[in-house]
Amino acid sequence: MTPQNIARTVGIALLIFCAVLMASSGTYVVQPGYRGVEVTMGKVSPAFKPEGFGMKVPVVTLIHPVSIRQQTAEDKADCYSSDLQQIHVELRVLFRIPEASVVKLFQEYYGQPFESLIAPRVHEALKEVTALQSAEQIVKNREKIKTDALEIARKKVGTLLVIEDIVIQDIALSKELGHAIEAKMVQEQEASKSKFLQQRAQIEADTGVIQAKGEAESIRIRGEALKDNPAFVDLKIVDKWDGFTPLIIGGGDKILLSLQDAERQRQTRPNGPLPNQPPAVRRPTK
């Protein structure tokens, strides 16, 4: 190959390489869930680039991707309660960057949005809330602590960022304070149990009194009914008779002989009175 052909081949290769380089640097792709910030020779464009494919000025223009998806960050905060007890809080913060703040955040704030903007305000909000509650109340009212801290943190951050939620994973106290609170809660539970047992015993006693009154009233009513209708007893006796001859007959202070003995005495002494004697013990017959 002659030197002219070699130079021509090298020139063509250089042209192709430059064309490919210019084509690649003159296009961009913004991934889903991101927005692009356009920077041309150090100057930030006021409008963000939406997701998808686009064209830009080669070499001198750069596109910086910024995520607008919801993000989660773990953090720790040390606070003090109203009774000057140290509280160690482990939490997770859910947040996102709105589209309207993408360019402003990139242009005016340095570093990660959570570390520079959200975490300090969340810590401040937690300290304000816990300072108004005792250590025991903080442990008992975890949901209220979280709700109040979330509301205050959102006000402090404003519309620049969106704090979706704050999740308190753990609230740690000193060992001595934790044991004291646990002992107090056990005592309160025992007191509640004793109060419940007393109430149940009182209810059972009241129920017994009501039942006794009901039974007494029932006896009184039945007594008055029997007094007004004495034949009712005879009717009940007839209803309960099983068909056997009774062993003895009589009423009041007088007890007569069995019916069979009475019949025998009548046959042997038809005109004389029946003597009083103990009733004969016999098996009943139908």
Q: Following DSSP, what letter does each residue of 13-50 receive, concatenated? A: HHHHHHHHHHHHHTEEEEPTTEEEEEEETTEEPSSPBP
Please compute the mean of the pLDDT values over residues 45-66 and round it to a whole number. 87
59 and 83 both lie in a single domain:
no
Strand 61-67 relative to strand 162-172, pairing: unpaired
Same domain, 25 and 78: no
Same domain, 106 and 122: yes
Q: Mean per-residue pLDDT for 37-54?
A: 90
CB 91: neighbour CB atoms within 10 A?
21
Tell me: pLDDT of 1 over 80.
no
pLDDT of residue 67: 93
Residue 94 pLDDT exceeds 60: yes
Q: How confident is the model at residue 16 (pLDDT cuts 50, 70, 90)?
A: confident
Angle CA 138–74–137, to nearest 5: 0
Question: How large is the average pLDDT for residues 268-273?
Answer: 53
Please give the Cα distance from 152 to 15 (Å, whole number).
61
End-of-domain residue from the set 134, 160, 176: 176
Residue with tokens 């773990």, as numbered in its chain: 74
The proportion of the chain whose per-residue pLDDT surpasses 90, expressed as a percent, equals 33
pLDDT for 261 equals 57
Residue 265: pLDDT band (50, 70, 90) is low
115-151: per-residue pLDDT in tens? 999 999 999 999 999 999 888 888 888 899 999 999 9
Predicted confidence band of residue 68 (pLDDT cuts 50, 70, 90): very high
Asked whether residue 117 is assigned to any structural domain, the reply reads yes
pLDDT of res. 201: 80
Tokens for 179, please give them.
Answer: 């044991």
Q: Is the pLDDT of residue 272 over 80?
A: no
pLDDT mean across residues, the chain: 78
17 inside domain: yes
Same-domain check for residues 75 and 59: no
- The span from the CA of 275 to the CA of 7, in Å, is 165
Cβ count within 10 A of residue 202: 10
Examine the pLDDT at 280 and tell me if it is beyond 50: no
Confidence band for 242, pLDDT divided at 50, 70 and 90: low
Q: Considering 26, 51, 67, which residue would you say is the last residue of a domain?
A: 67
Q: How many domains does the chain have?
A: 3
DSSP codes, 146-160: HHHHHHHHHHHHTTS
Long-range contacts, stretch 253-260, CB < 8 angstroms, 24+ apart? 255/279, 258/282
- Tell me which residue range forms the domain holding 85: 71-176
Contacts of residue 26, defined as CB under 8 A and 6 or more positions apart, other chains included, come to 55, 56, 57, 58
Please indicate, yes or no, whether residues 51 and 143 belong to a single structural domain of this protein. Answer: no
CB 27 within 8 Å of CB 54: yes
In this predicted model, which residue has the larger pLDDT, 127 or 9? 127
* Mean pLDDT of all residues in 211-240: 71
Q: Which residue has the higher pLDDT, 74 or 172?
A: 74
The CA-atom distances, in angstroms, between 109 and each of 25, 104, 115, 196 are: 27, 8, 11, 60
Out of 150, 176, 202, pick the residue that ends a domain. 176
Confidence at residue 84, expressed as pLDDT on a 0 to 100 scale: 82
Q: What is the pLDDT of residue 23?
A: 62
- Contact, 261 vs 280, CB < 8 A? yes
CA angle 152, 153, 159 (to 5 degrees): 110
Does 220 reside within a domain? no
Q: pLDDT confidence of 179, banded at 50, 70, 90?
A: low
Please answer whether residues 164 and 114 qualify as being in contact, where contact means their C-beta atoms are separated by less than 8 angstroms. no
Residue 200 lies in a domain: no
* d(C-alpha 168, C-alpha 171), whole Å: 8
